[in-house]
Homo-oligomer: A and B are copies of this chain.
Amino acid sequence: MTAAARPSKPAVVGEAAPPSPKAGAERAPPVLKFEQVGFSYDGRAIMRDVSFSVGPGEILALLGPSGCGKTTILNMVAGFLRPTEGVAVVDGREIVGPGPDRGVVFQAAALFDWMTVAENIAFSLRCAGAGKARRREVAEEMAALVGLSGFEDAFPYQLSGGMRQRVGLARVLAAGPKVMLMDEPFSALDVQTRETLQEEVLRIRDRTGCTILFVTHSIDEAAFLGDRIFLLNDLQSGAYDVYDVALPAPRPNPENRLHPSFLRLRETIYRRMRH
């Protein structure tokens, strides 16, 4: 079954999607492109025929059932896994491995247990040769951003689950990559922290123009953050939908959470997910 032949598309698919609200993004060549990508773990195919592309500065939210392949898609973009079929392209070049242009917020935080919070956050700066003072400065700034001021010198095993998750986020924000791959980055956070950070992500995107792939299980979150929502129903048979999110700019505005088109989209997707 090819993408074109798939039935019941409630919204436009892939590149044919209407302009995203991020001005100017639609004209530029895509930052990221999957072309009929398939993937198998040890010979067991878990996805086939996945094609999509993401423009510069766009946020693509990935929604889908547990185990459908969201993390696997992120891993292919990050360059940790190679598609077993098709090609994955970033900035016009086939992805052959990980690189600092693509930062990853891992589903399970994946912190360096042997480094303090500050050292974890400033890791990319250390790799780039930044001095001690500069690293500390950035670490403190980022820790404050994710609400971890005062924990800079704690080790990961002294943190709660949600705090670990926030270090994983801060670490990537500090690196400021061109493409951010976020795998359920807010799943262990309370409502307030979560909403604050959602707004923060939008602000950072607006400021830096970075492109974001955002995996979440929260339809609200997908709709509030995503320029488009990629709903992965059944990647094994190559079935997925793409929804356009039409919310007024500036996106970070909390009012958007009550916008009628927001509520409508939420309902549509909820129905679709429960079948």
A binding-site residues for B, Cβ under 8 Å: 41, 63-67, 70-71, 107-108, 147, 158-163, 165-166, 183-184, 187-195, 217, 219, 270, 273-275
Query: A274–B67 Cα gap in the complex (Å)?
Result: 32
Contact between A71 and B192 (Cβ–Cβ < 8 Å)?
no
Residue of B64, B160, B187, B192 touching A67 (CB-CB under 8 A): B160
Q: Which residues of B contact A107 (CB under 8 A)?
A: 161, 188
Query: A193–B275 Cα gap in the complex (Å)?
Result: 12
Q: Which residues of B contact A187 (CB under 8 A)?
A: 187-188
Contact between B188 and A274 (Cβ–Cβ < 8 Å)?
no
Distance from A242 Cβ to chain B, minimum over Cβ atoms (Å): 17
Q: Residue of B at shortest CB range from A186?
A: B217
Residue of B65, B165, B195 touching A190 (CB-CB under 8 A): B65
Distance from A252 Cβ to chain B, minimum over Cβ atoms (Å): 16
Contact between B66 and A188 (Cβ–Cβ < 8 Å)?
yes
Q: Which residues of B contact A194 (CB under 8 A)?
A: 217
Q: Which residues of B contact A184 (CB under 8 A)?
A: 161, 188
Contact between A189 and B217 (Cβ–Cβ < 8 Å)?
yes
Chain B CB within 10 A, most for which of A67, A165, A275: A67
Chain B CB within 10 A, most for which of A65, A163, A190, A195: A190
Q: Which residues of B contact A67 (CB under 8 A)?
A: 159-160, 162-163
Contact between B71 and A190 (Cβ–Cβ < 8 Å)?
no
Q: Which residues of B contact A219 (CB under 8 A)?
A: 191
